[in-house]
Amino acid sequence: MRKIKTADVFLGMRLIQRSGLKEKLVPVIKGISDEDITSVGILGFLSVLEVFGENSCEHLIYELLSGPLERSPEEISNMDLAELSDNLEMLGKENDLKHFFSVLSGLLSKRQ
């Protein structure tokens, strides 16, 4: 597993814009200062799943996760749910997700 990089921020931004996730994710990002980061991460991830499922964009989440998890999108799609959960938890522990989402929020706000 690798740390989240600048390219991941821009990929995340493009995925959010293509999927229409912005309307659901911005309130989650704004809630970071008010809630436990783990709760915000879980709520954010569930929002992502909900929107990507609605928009048939499932492959986009695999593409986003493939970088930091250092796996192909196909490996992510076939990953056991418990393994995915463990990897997401590790990703959260090894990265400053609050900063990642703050940068992402700033970039999305500038694109309004």
Q: Where are the domains of the chain?
A: 6-110
Helix%, strand%, coil% for the chain, nearest 5: 80, 0, 20
Task: List the structure tokens of 91.
Answer: 């990703």
pTM: 0.64
Cα–Cα dist 71/77, whole Å: 10
What is the residue whose two structure tokens read 């996760």? 65
Higher-pLDDT residue of 65, 9:
65
CA distance 90 to 97: 11
pLDDT tens per residue across span 53-78: 666 677 888 888 999 999 999 999 99
**The token pair that represents 50 in the structure block:** 């909900």
